[in-house]
Amino acid sequence: MKKPSFLKRVGHIHFVGIKGVGMTALACCAQDLGIEVSGSDVEEVFVTDKILKQRKIHWKIGFEEKHLKPKPDLVITTGAHGGLANPEVVAAGKLKIPILTQAQALGKFMEGKEGISVCGVGGKTTTSSMIATVLDNARKNPSFAIGVGEINSLGPAGKYDKGKEFITEADEYANSPGIDNRPKFSFQKPKVIVVTNVEYDHPDIYQNLEQTKEVFKKFFQVLPTNGLLVACVDNPNTWDAVKDFQGNLQTYGFSPRADWQIVSSYLGQEQIIFSLSHKKVIIDEIKIKVPGRYNVLNATAAFAVGTFLGLDVKTIKNGLGRFTGTKRRFEFIGETNGVKIYDDYAHHPNEIKEVLMAAQKWFPQNRLIAIFQPHTFSRTKALFNEFARSFSLAKMVVITDIYSSARETDTLGISGKLLAEETRKCHSNVVYKSSGKEVVEFLKNEAKPNDIIMTLGAGNIFQWHKSILEALRV
């Protein structure tokens, strides 16, 4: 299999921060190309540990110069753990080892392929995974690097294959925060861009929603004349960002003005069945095995992309039917004594509302308990009131301490306890529990048969599941 040109003389890549989901995906791609992979990271358990162990990719704990022996041909660094200022990365620079950030490397892995980039706040992972599954099911042998622990239908979230397409997420966050604030997706030059929505999600990088929109608009301009922009017209911010786009634009959504309009959807037995209208043709009986109105939207975006790439209706339907979700996206964790636990990465108010709506419709007869671990002080402060109003569909809400980013040193006068107090103004049943241990003890006494527990957040809340299940068995 032909290597991307930047890897022609590379036999060993060292990944600093290898356990990040985007980093692990790239490590798998490199390994597929026959490149030796090594890495380093913190000791904390990550959702990627399982995949790295399965692939026999070993990593060292901590960040030190000695981890660069034997000397690699290339170092790829995460934007976390100091990014380009990480001591191991700084040491690599002194040793004259070439260095790329994860975002830069991803862009280079895409070179020579027809890139399909999925951007937006919410929906990137699932839409990318759906598109990859559809193309894989069509025997197109796609490459992909998707920021998630695992894709049920595909396995590891990174793969480099012989097909011409490369599917990935496109993130507007900073390349290396505080050092290089260029958007991560600025290093991608795709043929197709999907934008699921545009929201204000990174107050530590962007001043406001308008600045965020401008960054997206600039990204759309990289599309070639034979490319395609696929945009969710239901989101007013997205429409504002794409309405003046001069290239090939196709919109999707429930709105009557959408090029790909969702005209009906209903719940079947553990599936959603929906119909689309496109160019006055009805495409019916499309079935997906994941819940939520938002997943109907994600599947519609995948349908538009698949059609643009020349796939027929039956092939796309079969591919979507094969998709059963990913890690940390409405993921079923387990059941004990009649209590079911699900987990979702939702960390923005709009995402929380959509996930809880999906859970309520999927389980209309069950009591829904939402456990939310806020992620970063900056996001919690900027969207404080929106977070407080996002839990109305849960019967009970548990809010924990904020999981701060390693880059944050200031609490900004905000806390999980303050968020819980604010949420009580909008919801009658809200409790604050500072830690996982307190949450486990609370659920041990509170959870009842037929309850649905939904853990939410982008921090380490997923590490609490084992303890919760064990406590509920007693």
- Are 64 and 185 in a shared domain? no
Residue 121 assigned to a binding site = yes
For residue 143, tell me if it sits in a domain. yes
Tell which of 258, 289, 322 closes a domain: 322
Q: How far apart, in whole angstroms, are the C-alpha atoms of residue 39 and residue 193? A: 31
For residue 375, tell me if it sits in a domain. yes
**pLDDT score recorded for residue 2:** 87
Residue 238 assigned to a binding site = no
Mean pLDDT of 58-81: 96
- Are 131 and 48 in a shared domain? no
Structure confidence at residue 180 as a pLDDT band (50, 70, 90): very high
- The residue with greater pLDDT, 35 or 2, is 35
Residue 279 has a CB neighbour count (10 Å cut-off) of 6
- Are 95 and 145 in a shared domain? no
Mean pLDDT of 101-115: 98
Q: Share the mean pLDDT of the chain.
A: 95
* Nearest partner of 102 among 172, 184, 43, 14, judged by Cα: 184
- Are 303 and 417 in a shared domain? no
- Are 292 and 222 in a shared domain? yes
Task: State the DSSP string of 47-91.
Answer: TTHHHHHHTT--EEES--GGGG-SPPSEEEE-SSTTGGG-HHHHH
pLDDT at 270 over 90: no
Residues 423 and 417: beta-carbon distance below 8 Å: no
- Are 73 and 181 in a shared domain? no
Give, to the nearest 10 degrees, the angle between helix 124-137 and helix 313-322: 120
Strand-strand pairing, 165-170 and 260-267: unpaired
Mean pLDDT of 73-101: 96
**C-alpha dist (Å) from residue 352 to 11, 264, 329:** 43, 23, 12
Mean pLDDT of 157-166: 98
For residue 176, tell me if it sits in a domain. yes
Q: Is 281 helix (H, G, I), strand (E, B) or coil?
A: strand
Q: For residue 150, what are the domain limits?
A: 112-322
- Are 85 and 127 in a shared domain? no
* Nearest partner of 439 among 464, 416, 421, judged by Cα: 464
- Are 368 and 289 in a shared domain? no
- Are 459 and 410 in a shared domain? yes
Q: How far apart, in whole angstroms, are the C-alpha atoms of residue 87 and residue 121? A: 31
**pLDDT score recorded for residue 206:** 93
For residue 162, tell me if it sits in a domain. yes
**pLDDT score recorded for residue 409:** 78
Task: Read off the CATH number of the domain in which 52 is found.
Answer: 3.40.50.720
For residue 5, tell me if it sits in a domain. no
For residue 4, tell me if it sits in a domain. no
Q: How far apart, in whole angstroms, are the C-alpha atoms of residue 1 and residue 446? A: 55
- Are 57 and 171 in a shared domain? no
Write the pLDDT tens digit of every residue in 416-428.
999 999 999 999 9
- Are 296 and 157 in a shared domain? yes
- Are 214 and 309 in a shared domain? yes
Residue 125 assigned to a binding site = yes
Task: Read off the CATH number of the domain in which 148 is found.
Answer: 3.40.1190.10
Domain count, the chain: 3
